[in-house]
Amino acid sequence: MEGHKDVLYGLYNDEDVLMDAITKAQKDHLDIHDVFTPFPVHGLDDVMGLSESRLHIAGFVYGALGTLTAFLFMTWVFTRDWPIIFGGKPYWSVPAFIPITFELTVLFSCVGMVVTYYTVCGMGPGADNPTLDDRITDDKFCLSFNVSNSSKDEIESLKGFLTESGAEETNIKTI
Amino acid sequence: MNQFTFTGREKMVLMFFMALGAICLAATYFVEPATMVVMNHGHEETVSTHHMRFWSNFLQNVVFFLGMAFTAMFGYCAFITAYGGWFSGMKRLWEAYALWMGVGLIMMLILIAGVWMHWHHLYHWNAHGVTDINDPHYDEIIAGKAPFLNKYWYTFATLICVGVYVFITMRIRSLSVAEDNGVKGDYSYHNKMRGWMAAFLPWGAFTSAILIWQWMMSVDAHWYSTMYAWNVTASFFVGLLSMTVLMLIYLKSRGYFVYVTENHMHDIGKYLFGFSVFWTYTWFSQYMLIWYSNNGEETIYFLTRRDQYPILFYGNLVLNFALPFLILIRNSSKRKFGTIGLVAAITFFGHWFDMFYLIKPGALINIAGSNDAATALGSVTGYALPGLLELGTFLGFTAMFIYFTFSKLSEAALAPTNDPYIGESVTHHVI
Amino acid sequence: MSHHPIISPLRHTLITGDKTYHDITEDICAPSEKVPSTAWVIAFILSVTVLGFGVFCILWTIWMGIGTWNLNRTIGWGWDITNFVWWIGIGHAGTLISAILLLFRQKWRTGVNRAAEAMTIFAVMCAGLFPLIHMGRLWLGFFIFPYPNTRGPLWVNFNSPLLWDVFAISTYFTVSLLFWYTGLVPDLATLRDRSKGLRRKIYSFVAFGWTGSAKHWQRFESLSLILAGIATPLVLSVHTIVSFDFATSVIPGWHTTIFPPYFVAGAIFSGFAMVLTLMIITRKVLKLEDYITMQHIESMNKVIVLTATMVGVAYLTELFISWYSQYPYEQFAFYNRATGIYFWSYVGMMGCNVLVPQIFWVEKYRRNITLTFFMSIFINIGMWFERFVIIVTTLARDYLPSSWSYYVPTWVEIGIYIGTFGLFFTLYLLFTRVAPVVAIAEVKSILKTSGSQYTGVVNRKAVDYKEAAVEADHVHVGHEHH
């Protein structure tokens, strides 16, 4: 089980200052805990060196599953289970299956991806993830370090780093 | 490297392929037998081929390249009107393509002359006696359509519609070139261009459909589909995007268009992907609706193509839907020049192939005199599948198109340095 | 080192009033944090009343039977399906704005996407009512889903366009809802972090534990982009399939292959008109003029003129090809539309949809709010007429002249239609109270490229584009030789 951790964080007023601070922290080999922003900052994942999200692969797999489900099910119904002739069309009338096949592809892919997204982010109805500061969803950009096992000197030097790199405020919070 | 130089070596190579194309095209005029024996209504009949193979090849290529040039202008206007900043860096390329419409118009004059002089029998509505009620060849449906399907209107609409396209294209081109030498920060050229572009869009949208019905759909004079023009236009546009990808890869390898990066390629790739899907959408909607309601006079069109020309019918879908869809669905494949170049080569050929599929079966029916007679002929060289001569002709036209593009590119700077969006374009970054 | 790419001096300002990030939060959160205004309360009471009347009419239909409608042979579809197609069409703008405009990187979408998506969801709900009621025995509505049953199992007819509709609309509704809610989560977190007590508890629940972590944002953006990529063909497919309801038949005037793209263009057209109607009121009442600016309205008017022209091309195409077909029934169908008993609806359709919107070629009119407001209503009347022309005019003139008739709706049919407005506005008004009407995070993300203090030829520090181009050229050349 995950225990509580002490997090030192600095709040910045501008995303450009934050990004420069991250670059600097990486140059100094500081171990960033996480970065929080009020909106998706363009280029932040590159600066942080985050690996590309693989959601699209999941989306493709779900979609393919939807395609197969719809097409094979309709094929089974109309060629094996209960073949009926409609309007002089063959039992296995592929053009008529395409609309529903398409819709289920989209449905499976979207629902699957959204569920996956919330699951991997640890989010969901009523989920109560701790936040560091209420202003992060307003206008503050936050850079944080895990200081649970750090000495007082290390904390001071990190605090110094935050202030020097442009943080307006620094704070420690146990989450 | 802001000035393109058309090297002697390039000219030589292109000239070689143009000569090859000319030889292939000329060959189709002579190798096709002058007459064919067909079974019409249970008895044998000898019909003249009217050099149909030559003329249908000519029509197919003229229309394909002219259509690509038209969509270049249309797309250019749409991008600028919608503030598409990323595009500015490569606008000179599309200007060069769009100017091809002038050449296309001249080629259309040959087809028009053919209509007047009865050199070809591409259009059954132009045959002797079909609109004359006292003639044994009288065709009630075609006679009803005669106010639209006649040589006067064919000539007039072609000249007026394409003429205006060419005129507006040249206006825009000259403003665009003048902008380069204008005062920095003076965007009055740009604003004037926007005005012309706004005018081009509705005019192009309304008239291109008329031209496509006349030039292509009326090869099957009885058949009609309201979707046809949109489907064909989508085909032209994918052809154009493919050509653009291949051209940029080549030009970049020569050191031009350095500021057109994989980010721009990514965007073109998205269009290539998106419009391949759109083309399929129009194709499917048209096919499915006609298949579903099962009206004899409509389904005959697809029935002939599906059962007599399965390679054309299914090959078309593989080349223009399945392959580009599956390859380009990944973002990374839109950014790798090798992969997107491969797709572009497939779809460029694919949409030329689509034109073949649209025109040739109807052309054969026009020779044979009826659908049944054409069916009884089986596979006829130059109609069932593109033969070597057709491929050679295609290469020739492509070479000519490239030759023209290169000569237009060499007439102006490659980067429109005074374009208000050029800054955005050169720093363009997707994702 | 700057993280911002060069922005063209011709780019328009999309956020006026030199806002800071905090201003954006304050302004957009304000409507849902204050006591509702009198105007809101009156509007709400009115909407609920109208909704109540609609519910009464629906119950009346169910209780007395579908005979309370004036549907009769040969007019099996009347106001019900007209209204269904109309609402579904309106329900296209939201996903279109969030999906297609996202793919086309049109930044102005951020001002209107949230409300437009909400509107989409409500419009689809209104639309879905009609086919359900029209089925007659509403309590057997679940028969439309393919599930194992004791009747064979007798499956639904997968070859029927009406069933395709069931799949298309339920998929569209689900995906729009997911897309909308996913985008809403970060903004709900903003509301959460600004509130206390019970309100905070409620917003915590619905904000799904959003923290704003960089990795989450990255996934969020990736998800939005893929959802947009998938939702784009989905939007197209929905009205395409609605058009299949008509076009797969052999009825003259219905069976035409251009129907799919033409319905889609019409849907976008009417959807944008409805967005304009709502946005013009919303921005005024909720004081959001700095976020839904003149530029937004002008951009939407450009989409209006584009789609008006597209439906114009489609109308003329149909008209021409009906003659070209040389098929007398087809020719009659269109002759009848233009000159028959319902000629007024054809005139309304052509006038409101094709002719009048052409005034938006003129910049002055595009930027005139009063005119835009009236135009947006005009267009939706026109689009309603379009569906009426397609459905009623066609069905009133069947193959047998002896069955020709003239259809007028009963008060019940009219009442249900009016009731859907009650439903729509009730939901929309509630939405403006509980959630941010403008996407807060997305507006913040375009502040530095589109905020008034950063844009415009006058305000911006001059950037030398010519040199930038040459420099970029140089850098790349150098890079390649490296």
Which residue in C164, C220, C230 is closest to A100 by CB distance? C164
C465 has pLDDT over 60? no
**Structural element, H or E, at residue C215:** helix C214-247
Tell me the per-residue pLDDT of C288-303, one tens digit each, with 9 for 90 and over: 999 999 989 999 999 9
* Token output for B265: 């390629």
Scan residues 373-392 of C and list those with Cβ closer than 8 Å to A: none
Which residue in B292, B329, B331 is closest to A96 by CB distance? B292
If you average pLDDT over every residue of chain C, what do you get? 89
Query: In angstroms, rounded to a whole number, what is the distance separating the alpha carbons of residues B301 and B231?
Result: 15
| Mean pLDDT value across residues B115-137 | 92
Residue C478 banded pLDDT, cuts 50, 70, 90: very low
Q: Given an 8 Å threshold on Cβ–Cβ distance, is C217 in contact with A40?
A: yes
Query: In angstroms, rounded to a whole number, what is the distance separating the alpha carbons of residues C205 and C185?
Result: 10
State the pTM of this model: 0.94
Q: Using an 8 Å CB-CB cutoff, list chain A residues near C234.
A: 103, 106
- Give the sheet arrangement for strand A141-146, strand by strand: A32-36, A141-146, A6-12, A169-174
Q: What is the pLDDT at residue B123?
A: 95
Q: What is the pLDDT at residue B431?
A: 62
- CB proximity C313 to B under 8 Å: yes
| Mean pLDDT value across residues C427-433 | 94
Query: In angstroms, rounded to a whole number, what is the distance separating the alpha carbons of residues A82 and A76?
Result: 8
Q: Given an 8 Å threshold on Cβ–Cβ distance, is A95 in contact with B288?
A: yes
Which residue in C153, C189, C218 is closest to A137 by CB distance? C189
Q: Given an 8 Å threshold on Cβ–Cβ distance, is A60 in contact with B329?
A: yes
- CB proximity C439 to A under 8 Å: no
Tell me the per-residue pLDDT of A65-75, one tens digit each, with 9 for 90 and over: 999 999 999 99
DSSP one-letter code for C22: H
How far A54 CA sits from the closest chain C CA (Å)?
Answer: 9
Residue C456 banded pLDDT, cuts 50, 70, 90: low
Tell me the per-residue pLDDT of B374-395, one tens digit each, with 9 for 90 and over: 988 888 889 999 999 999 999 9
Secondary structure (3-state) at C43: helix
- DSSP β-bridge partners for residue B310: none
Q: What is the pLDDT at residue C139?
A: 87
Q: Out of A6-20, C58-72, C257-271, C458-472, which region has the weakest mean confidence (pLDDT)?
A: C458-472
Which of B291, B293, B326 is the best mutation test for A, with the most CBs of A within 10 A?
B291
Query: In angstroms, rounded to a whole number, what is the distance separating the alpha carbons of residues C360 and C349?
Result: 17
Query: In angstroms, rounded to a whole number, what is the distance separating the alpha carbons of residues B313 and B326?
Result: 19
ipTM above 0.90, yes or no: yes
Q: What is the CA B217 to chain-centroid distance, rounded?
A: 14
Query: In angstroms, rounded to a whole number, what is the distance separating the alpha carbons of residues B312 and B305?
Result: 7
CA angle B21/B27/B31 to nearest 5° reads 150
Q: Using an 8 Å CB-CB cutoff, list chain B residues near C302.
A: 81
Query: In angstroms, rounded to a whole number, what is the distance separating the alpha carbons of residues B339 and B345?
Result: 10
Q: What is the pLDDT at residue C469?
A: 44
C475 has pLDDT over 80? no
Scan residues 203-232 of C and list those with Cβ closer than 8 Å to A: 204-206, 208-223, 226-227, 230-231
C477 has pLDDT over 60? no
Q: Given an 8 Å threshold on Cβ–Cβ distance, is C212 in contact with A37?
A: yes
**Structural element, H or E, at residue C57:** helix C38-64
| Mean pLDDT value across residues B57-65 | 97
Cα–Cα nearest to B75, from B244, B191, B207:
B244
Query: In angstroms, rounded to a whole number, what is the distance separating the alpha carbons of residues B38 and B371?
Result: 11
Q: Given an 8 Å threshold on Cβ–Cβ distance, is C158 in contact with A100?
A: yes
Residue B369 banded pLDDT, cuts 50, 70, 90: confident
How far C234 CA sits from the closest chain A CA (Å)?
Answer: 7
How far A60 CA sits from the closest chain B CA (Å)?
Answer: 9
In contact, C182 and C224? CB cutoff 8 Å: yes
- Max CA-CA distance within chain A? 84
Q: What is the pLDDT at residue B182?
A: 83
Residue C464 banded pLDDT, cuts 50, 70, 90: very low
Query: In angstroms, rounded to a whole number, what is the distance separating the alpha carbons of residues A169 and A35?
Result: 15
Q: How many other C-beta atoms lie within 10 A of the C-beta of residue B12? A: 9
| Mean pLDDT value across residues C406-434 | 96
Q: What is the pLDDT at residue C12?
A: 82
**CB burial string C334-365: b at 16+ within 10 A, e below:** bebbeebebeebbebbbebbbebbeebeeeeb
Cα–Cα nearest to C440, from C94, C35, C111, C99:
C111
If you average pLDDT over every residue of chain B, what do you get? 94
Tell me the per-residue pLDDT of A4-38, one tens digit each, with 9 for 90 and over: 889 999 999 999 999 999 999 999 988 899 999 99
- Nearest residue on chain A to C211, judged by CA atoms? A131
Which residue in C258, C327, C468 is closest to B423 by CB distance? C468
**CB burial string C146-159: b at 16+ within 10 A, e below:** beeeeeeeebbebb
Percent of chain B with pLDDT over 90: 81
Q: Given an 8 Å threshold on Cβ–Cβ distance, is B294 in contact with A95?
A: no
Q: What is the pLDDT at residue B221?
A: 93
Tell me the per-residue pLDDT of B337-356, one tens digit each, with 9 for 90 and over: 999 999 999 999 999 999 99
- Nearest residue on chain C to A15, judged by CA atoms? C3
- CB proximity A124 to B under 8 Å: no
Q: What are phi and psi of A173, to 5 degrees?
A: -140, 140
Q: Using an 8 Å CB-CB cutoff, list chain A residues near B287.
A: 95
Note every long-range contact of B181-185, with CB atoms under 8 Å and residues 24 or more positions apart, other chains counting.
Answer: B181/B418, B182/B418, B184/B418, B184/C464, B184/C465, B184/C466, B185/C9, B185/C457, B185/C462
Which residue in C8, C248, C261 is closest to B292 by CB distance? C248
Q: What are phi and psi of B255, to 5 degrees?
A: 95, 5
- DSSP β-bridge partners for residue A11: A142, A169
**More reliable by pLDDT, C465 or C208:** C208
Q: Using an 8 Å CB-CB cutoff, list chain B residues near C309.
A: 201-202, 205
C182 prior amide bond cis, ω within 30: no
Q: What is the pLDDT at residue A107?
A: 97
Q: Are strands A6-12 and A169-174 parallel, antiparallel or unpaired?
A: antiparallel
Q: Are strands A169-174 and A141-146 parallel, antiparallel or unpaired?
A: unpaired
Percent of chain B with pLDDT over 70: 100
- Using only the alpha carbons of chain C, give its radius of gyration: 25
Q: What is the pLDDT at residue B228?
A: 96
Query: In angstroms, rounded to a whole number, what is the distance separating the alpha carbons of residues C334 and B140?
Result: 21
Tell me the per-residue pLDDT of A64-122, one tens digit each, with 9 for 90 and over: 999 999 999 999 999 999 888 888 889 999 999 999 999 999 999 999 999 999 999 99
- CB proximity C261 to B under 8 Å: yes
Residue B216 banded pLDDT, cuts 50, 70, 90: very high
How far A53 CA sits from the closest chain C CA (Å)?
Answer: 6
- CB proximity B338 to C under 8 Å: no
- CB proximity C468 to B under 8 Å: yes
One-letter-per-residue 3-state SS of chain B: CCECCCCHHHHHHHHHHHHHHHHHHHHHHHHCCCEEEEEECCEEEEEECCCHHHHHHHHHHHHHHHHHHHHHHHHHHHHHHCCCHHHHHHHHHHHHHHHHHHHHHHHHHHHHHHHHHCCCCCCHHHCCCCCCCCCCCCCHHHHHHCCCCCHHHHHHHHHHHHHHHHHHHHHHHHHHHHHHHCCCCCCHHHHHHHHHHHHHHHHHHHHHHHHHHHHCHHHCCCCCCCCHHHHHHHHHHHHHHHHHHHHHHHHHHCCCCCCCCHHHHHHHHHHHHHHHHHHHHHHHHHHHHHHHHCCHHHHHHHHHHHHHCHHHHHHHHHHHHHHHHHHHCCHHHHHCHHHHHHHHHHHHHHHHHHHHHHHHHHHHHHHHCCHHHHHHHCCCCCCCCCCHHHHHHHHHHHHHHHHHHHHHHCCCECCCCCCCCHHHHHCCCCC
Q: Given an 8 Å threshold on Cβ–Cβ distance, is A138 in contact with C193?
A: yes
| Mean pLDDT value across residues C113-121 | 92
Tell me the per-residue pLDDT of B140-177, one tens digit each, with 9 for 90 and over: 999 999 999 999 999 999 999 999 999 999 999 999 99
Q: Using an 8 Å CB-CB cutoff, list chain A residues near B284.
A: 95, 98
C212 has pLDDT over 70? yes
Q: Please, which chains are in contact with B (at least 3 CB pairs closer than 8 A)?
A: A, C
Q: Given an 8 Å threshold on Cβ–Cβ distance, is C11 in contact with B277?
A: no
Which residue in A45, A77, A102 is closest to C218 by CB distance? A45
Query: In angstroms, rounded to a whole number, what is the distance separating the alpha carbons of residues B399 and C17?
Result: 55
- Nearest residue on chain C to A94, judged by CA atoms? C159
Q: Out of B249-253, B269-273, B415-419, which region has the weakest mean confidence (pLDDT)?
A: B415-419
A90 Cβ partners below 8 Å, 6+ apart?
none
| Mean pLDDT value across residues B77-104 | 93
Scan residues 68-107 of A and list those with Cβ closer than 8 Å to B: 87-89, 95-96, 98
**More reliable by pLDDT, A52 or B270:** B270
Tell me the per-residue pLDDT of B287-336, one tens digit each, with 9 for 90 and over: 999 999 999 889 999 999 999 999 999 999 999 999 999 999 988 899 99
- Nearest residue on chain C to B273, judged by CA atoms? C229
Tell me the per-residue pLDDT of C75-93, one tens digit each, with 9 for 90 and over: 999 999 999 999 999 998 8
Scan residues 4-63 of A and list those with Cβ closer than 8 Å to B: 56, 60
DSSP one-letter code for C451: B
Q: What is the pLDDT at residue C96?
A: 81
Which residue in A60, A87, A95 is closest to B287 by CB distance? A95
- Nearest residue on chain C to A119, judged by CA atoms? C208
Q: How many other C-beta atoms lie within 10 A of the C-beta of residue B41? A: 9
Q: Please, which chains are in contact with A (at least 3 CB pairs closer than 8 A)?
A: B, C
How far C354 CA sits from the closest chain B CA (Å)?
Answer: 12
- CB proximity C194 to B under 8 Å: no
Q: Please, which chains are in contact with C (at least 3 CB pairs closer than 8 A)?
A: A, B
DSSP one-letter code for A52: P
Tell me the per-residue pLDDT of C237-280, one tens digit each, with 9 for 90 and over: 999 999 999 999 999 999 999 999 999 999 999 999 999 999 99
Q: What is the pLDDT at residue C4?
A: 60
DSSP one-letter code for A42: T
Q: Given an 8 Å threshold on Cβ–Cβ distance, is B329 in contact with A88?
A: no
Q: Using an 8 Å CB-CB cutoff, list chain A residues near C25.
A: 38, 137-139
Q: Given an 8 Å threshold on Cβ–Cβ distance, is C5 in contact with B261?
A: no
C49 has pLDDT over 60? yes
